[in-house]
């Protein structure tokens, strides 16, 4: 089981804080925007005498509300095609265990969300990777690379769109190419679409459930990011394949039920939050526009412009980005302030490919991002002068 590149340096950050250093967290996608007020109100107004189990597939009313949400997003999904999970993480794990046996293979585009690899290890799944590159904004690798990676043991392709960690938004043409590969080899396409509301390219978002391969698609979702509700741990697995749903339900029954209070908050967040969502989108876009421009003005730093989500991978002028990230927490501060970043090596199947890179989450207000840029510039200058 690999350590999480997002959280592995947390003990060093805690030690720095205990010594009076302020740490700006660019390492984790924890939004600082407020959750919808109606979600907070729903929790305050809970009048149950018993906090009971919910159905293993999730509360019926939440599934109906989610169905309405997907319809607004242009994805027609019936409530019975939705299973509520304990965060998107559980949806990923259930998808792996339901659709593959231990020893089966799944293809992922690296760099990929590090917990995909951890979940694959948990399920006994073998990860094969095809590599995308920072030079072209982590565009989808050529079809030929996927074909090379496919073996008789391959059962699925995993995609995050828009992408964590690189902020890539895959084009319609790229998704159609994946569709054709999935059809040709009768694979599952597991599509993590948690960041669908944060698309900065001026075109509609295209869901994997709109590719015409309904029986092969397993969609992963979560309310964590779009409603700033990471802590309520509510996600969803959506599939039009009844056999997939029936198998996932067995795993859902084995863990009993998703969080009750989380479901109450999530359901309250879904309707009537269009203005809230628009304001969040505009805020993240403004943060992206400032942050990426400022990053690229630091000598030796390169970051492509993300077209979705709220992450970027940046190339730094260092030989070992993980060593630099640790040093920022243990040996450096500017006016008792420093930054915490996620070493990008942990997002690659081949860690050497991300040795000089970090993943950064622009989830802080612009005032704080400006300070982060200042600190990062000074840290790189001092680090390189001492090496």
Looking at the domain assignment, is residue 171 inside a domain? Answer: yes
Per-residue model confidence (pLDDT) at position 365: 97
User: What are the tens digits of pLDDT across the range 89-144?
Assistant: 999 999 999 999 999 999 999 999 999 999 999 999 999 999 999 999 999 999 99
Same domain, 158 and 18: no
Looking at the domain assignment, is residue 2 inside a domain? Answer: no
As a whole number, mean pLDDT of residues 47-75 equals 97
User: What are the tens digits of pLDDT across the range 17-26?
Assistant: 999 999 999 9
Looking at the domain assignment, is residue 318 inside a domain? Answer: yes
Is the Cα torsion angle 111, 115, 119, 124 positive or negative in sign?
Answer: positive
Looking at the domain assignment, is residue 257 inside a domain? Answer: yes
Looking at the domain assignment, is residue 3 inside a domain? Answer: no
- pLDDT band for position 33 (50/70/90)? very high
Considering 221, 247, 270, which residue would you say is the last residue of a domain?
270
Looking at the domain assignment, is residue 307 inside a domain? Answer: yes
The domain spanning residue 127 has which CATH number?
A: 3.40.640.10
Considering 253, 270, 287, which residue would you say is the last residue of a domain?
270
Same domain, 239 and 373: no
Looking at the domain assignment, is residue 4 inside a domain? Answer: no
Same domain, 219 and 88: yes
ω into 142 cis (within 30 of 0): no
The domain spanning residue 329 has which CATH number?
A: 3.90.1150.10
267 CB-near residues (< 8 Å, 6+ apart) = 42, 59, 61, 62, 65
Same domain, 259 and 150: yes
pLDDT at 166 over 80: yes
The whole-angstrom separation of Cα 355 and Cα 357 is 6
Residue 94 phi, psi dihedral angles, 5° rounding: -65, -40
Per-residue model confidence (pLDDT) at position 1: 87
Taking a C-beta distance cutoff of 8 angstroms, is the pair 303, 296 a contact?
Answer: yes
User: What are the tens digits of pLDDT across the range 192-221?
Assistant: 999 999 999 998 899 999 999 999 999 999
Per-residue model confidence (pLDDT) at position 380: 98
3-state secondary structure of 165: coil
Report how many domains make up the chain.
2
pLDDT at 5 over 90: no
Same domain, 160 and 27: no
User: What are the tens digits of pLDDT across the range 267-287?
Assistant: 999 999 999 999 999 999 999
As a whole number, mean pLDDT of residues 229-241 equals 98
Task: Give the domain range for residue 185.
Answer: 38-270
Same domain, 187 and 322: no
ω into 326 cis (within 30 of 0): no
Same domain, 264 and 297: no
Looking at the domain assignment, is residue 217 inside a domain? Answer: yes
- pLDDT band for position 3 (50/70/90)? confident
Per-residue model confidence (pLDDT) at position 235: 98
* Element (DSSP H or E) covering residue 274: helix 274-295
Same domain, 107 and 249: yes
Give the residue from 364, 302, 23 showing the smallest Cα distance to 166.
Answer: 302
User: What are the tens digits of pLDDT across the range 333-363?
Assistant: 999 999 999 999 999 988 899 999 999 999 9
As a whole number, mean pLDDT of residues 238-253 equals 98
Same domain, 279 and 331: yes
Considering 270, 298, 315, which residue would you say is the last residue of a domain?
270
Same domain, 321 and 207: no
Taking a C-beta distance cutoff of 8 angstroms, is the pair 248, 237 a contact?
Answer: yes
Mean pLDDT, the chain, rounded, equals 97
As a whole number, mean pLDDT of residues 291-308 equals 98
Per-residue model confidence (pLDDT) at position 282: 98
Same domain, 149 and 241: yes
Same domain, 293 and 159: no
Residue 83 phi, psi dihedral angles, 5° rounding: -120, 125
Taking a C-beta distance cutoff of 8 angstroms, is the pair 380, 317 a contact?
Answer: yes
Taking a C-beta distance cutoff of 8 angstroms, is the pair 306, 291 a contact?
Answer: no
């Amino acid at each position: 089981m690999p350590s999480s590149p997002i959280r592995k340096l947390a003990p060093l950050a805690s030690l720095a804080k205990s010594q009076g250093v302020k740490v700006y967290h660019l390492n984790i996608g924890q939004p600082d925007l407020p959750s919808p007020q109606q979600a907070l109100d729903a929790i305050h107004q809970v009048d149950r005498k018993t906090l009971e189990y919910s159905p293993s597939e999730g509360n019926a009313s939440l599934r109906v509300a989610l169905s309405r949400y997907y319809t607004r997003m242009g994805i027609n999904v019936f409530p019975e095609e939705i299973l509520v999970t304990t965060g998107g993480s559980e949806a990923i794990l259930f998808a792996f265990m339901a659709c593959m046996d231990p020893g089966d293979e799944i293809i992922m585009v690296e760099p990929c969300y590090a917990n995909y690899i951890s979940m694959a290890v948990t399920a006994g799944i073998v990860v094969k990777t095809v590599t995308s590159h920072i030079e072209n904004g982590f565009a989808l690798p050529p079809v030929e690379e996927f074909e090379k990676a496919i073996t008789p043991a391959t059962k699925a392709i995993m995609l995050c769109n828009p992408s964590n960690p690189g902020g890539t938004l895959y084009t319609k043409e790229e998704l159609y190419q994946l569709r054709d590969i999935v059809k040709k080899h009768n694979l599952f396409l597991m599509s993590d679409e948690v960041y669908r509301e944060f698309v900065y390219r001026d075109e509609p978002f295209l869901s994997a459930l709109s590719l015409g391969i309904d029986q092969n698609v397993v969609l992963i979702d979560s309310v964590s990011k779009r409603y700033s509700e990471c802590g309520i741990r509510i996600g969803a697995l959506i599939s039009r394949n009844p056999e997939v749903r029936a198998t996932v339900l067995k795993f859902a029954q084995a863990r009993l039920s998703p969080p009750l209070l989380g479901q109450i908050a999530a359901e309250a967040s879904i309707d009537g939050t269009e203005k809230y969502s628009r304001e969040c989108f505009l805020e993240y876009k403004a943060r992206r526009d400032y942050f990426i421009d400022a990053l690229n003005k630091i000598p030796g730093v390169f970051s492509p412009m993300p077209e979705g989500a709220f992450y970027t991978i940046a190339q730094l002028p260092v030989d070992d980005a993980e060593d630099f990230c640790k040093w920022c927490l243990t040996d450096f501060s500017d006016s008792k302030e420093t930054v915490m970043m996620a070493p990008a090596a942990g997002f690659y199947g081949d860690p050497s490919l991300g040795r000089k890179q970090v993943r950064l989450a622009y989830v802080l207000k612009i005032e704080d991002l400006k300070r982060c840029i200042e600190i990062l510039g000074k840290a790189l200058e001092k680090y390189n002068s001492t090496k």
